[in-house]
Amino acid sequence: MENWLPKIYDEIEKRFEEEHLPKVLSLVRQPSIAGTGEGIEECAQMVLDMLNDLGCEEGHLEHYVYSPVVSAKLKSEVEDAPTLVIYGMYDVQPPEPLEEWRVPPYGGAIIDVEPYGECVVARGIANSKGPLVCFFNTVKVIKETLGYFPLNLWFVIEGEEEMGSESLAPFTKNHADELSKCLGVYLLSARQDENGKPFTTLGNKGILYFEMEARGGEWGGPQKLDIHGSNAAWVSNPIWRLVNALDTMRDENDHILIEGFYDDVAPLNEMDEFYTDRMAEVFDEDMYLNKRLYTSRFLHDKRGRDAQHALLWEPTLNIDGIWGGYTGPATKTIVPYHATCKVDVRLVPNMRPEETLAKIRKHLDDHGYSDIELITRQGTPYSKVDAGSAIARACISAMEQSGYPENTVWPIFPGSGPAYLFTDPPVSLPLVDYSLGISGQIHAPNEYFTVKGLKENEMSVAAVIWNLCRILEEEA
């Protein structure tokens, strides 16, 4: 097969500054907050317009729950070409706290960010509008340079990833038969750590997100309104009730005490062990502790492979926030009538959200806290694929050819997402991601993506497409 990558790289170099970068900036300058709906419809239309500009057919917006799913198909000029699903997202997290931004969050400014130099700083540049537009740019370059595009592409770009992908679930269900006939799913992202090491992911943890609420009731505590703090002498406090309930779920050494919590955790298979060991060979403890986590040590004082193994393969029970009563200025003495906390559990294979929630409910009931209400906000299963699929091999090959040493394959990613909608039945496709680009402060003020990384992101996805075509030709 002809190696057309050098020609594509040359074209990206020529076009990036004047043509490609402005397109990236145009999309990050459009707000699109999933949780509030701000700018969602406008952004979805912008994405659809970009796809139409590529020459896509059947482009439209499908409305289900909140934000529309953008769907469009690029037909290859090659007869009987297989179809690759391209999954991305156009929604972003809110930009607050605004006072901590160095530049306006939707300004699309290019400024120096130490130690990386020139970066685009904007909400959504890394997660994930930058990679989204970079892929569009690369497709256009390949198509115009070669005179054709070697694969059919089905773009599925959602706008609710940051709030549970509720619309993607009915979309994949409605299109399951057609999706299942595709080659695989390529997730648009940037997989390069702060030290420049690239990686490919073959799955992700699931998540169970819920709230725990304690209110005054038969157990005690005020039931209708906050009361004067002097009444703490003879009336119970729902905040203490909630704190005591939480205390039964985890001991002073951070071990999870919920009965049966670990029962469904699957043992590692041969592939998982192989890639976990490979990751341990290049594990940079200092980078994680000092550049990403800003902490002095890992949980349970784990080091090296043990710490890395925990990140990948151990489930979590995390308190995201807790509140109740008075937290304003000056003093106000009360016994509040309710208290709430948000909790997330990261699920590893073979843990399921509904079964895990049932174990937590039983634990609270068994410890005398049946009055505490559990309000489920999100239940997303884990996703897991094999490294032997064509799209996985293409991503790994492109990564190994990138010129960046110490590249790794993550058999599972500690974050969560809706990949299971593609990888689980009835769709049952492999979903993999790899592309270059150093970025950071996702969900935080001053989210950034290096300008150099955006250009290399385009080149890396071109390498994935070329390697995929090469693998398919060899197999044929």
Reported confidence tier of residue 195, pLDDT bands at 50, 70, 90: confident
pLDDT exceeds cutoff 90 at 354: yes
Residue 273's pLDDT is what? Answer: 95
Residue 5's pLDDT is what? Answer: 97
Residue 293's pLDDT is what? Answer: 83
Reported confidence tier of residue 461, pLDDT bands at 50, 70, 90: very high
Question: Distance between CA atoms of 71 and 155, rounded to whole angstroms?
Answer: 6
**Radius of gyration of the CA atoms of the chain, in A:** 24
pLDDT tens digits, one per residue of 204-250: 999 999 999 999 999 999 999 999 999 999 999 999 999 999 999 99
Residue 463's pLDDT is what? Answer: 98
pLDDT (average), residues 361-372: 98
pLDDT (average), residues 274-288: 90
Residue 464's pLDDT is what? Answer: 98
Mention every residue, 6+ apart, whose C-beta is less than 8 A from residue 242: 212, 213, 214, 322, 324, 339, 340, 341, 372
Residue 414's pLDDT is what? Answer: 94
Residue 255's pLDDT is what? Answer: 92
- Please state the φ and ψ torsions of residue 378, each to the nearest 5 degrees: -160, 135
Residue 194's pLDDT is what? Answer: 85
Residue labelled with tokens 């299109």: 175
Residue 286's pLDDT is what? Answer: 86
Residue 291's pLDDT is what? Answer: 78
Question: Distance between CA atoms of 299 and 99, rounded to whole angstroms?
Answer: 32
Residue 426's pLDDT is what? Answer: 97
Residue 253's pLDDT is what? Answer: 84
pLDDT (average), residues 312-333: 95
pLDDT tens digits, one per residue of 138-194: 999 999 999 999 999 999 999 999 988 999 999 999 999 999 999 999 999 999 998
Reported confidence tier of residue 316, pLDDT bands at 50, 70, 90: very high
Residue 418's pLDDT is what? Answer: 95
pLDDT exceeds cutoff 80 at 1: no
pLDDT exceeds cutoff 90 at 290: no
**DSSP state, 73?**
E
Question: Which helix (H) or strand (E) is 398 found in, with range?
Answer: helix 390-400
pLDDT, averaged across the chain: 96
Cβ atoms of 343 and 209 within 8 Å: the answer is yes
Percent of the chain at pLDDT exceeding 90 = 92
pLDDT tens digits, one per residue of 249-274: 999 888 999 999 999 999 999 999 99
pLDDT (average), residues 274-302: 89
Which pTM value belongs to this model? 0.91
Residue 83's pLDDT is what? Answer: 98
Residue 15: CB atoms within 10 A of its CB come to 17
pLDDT tens digits, one per residue of 418-430: 999 999 999 999 9
Question: Distance between CA atoms of 466 and 476, rounded to whole angstroms?
Answer: 15
Percent of the chain at pLDDT exceeding 70 = 100
Question: Distance between CA atoms of 92 and 158, rounded to whole angstroms?
Answer: 11
pLDDT tens digits, one per residue of 40-99: 999 999 999 999 999 999 999 999 999 999 999 999 999 999 999 999 999 999 999 999
Residue 53: CB atoms within 10 A of its CB come to 11
Structure tokens belonging to residue 348: 């590893």
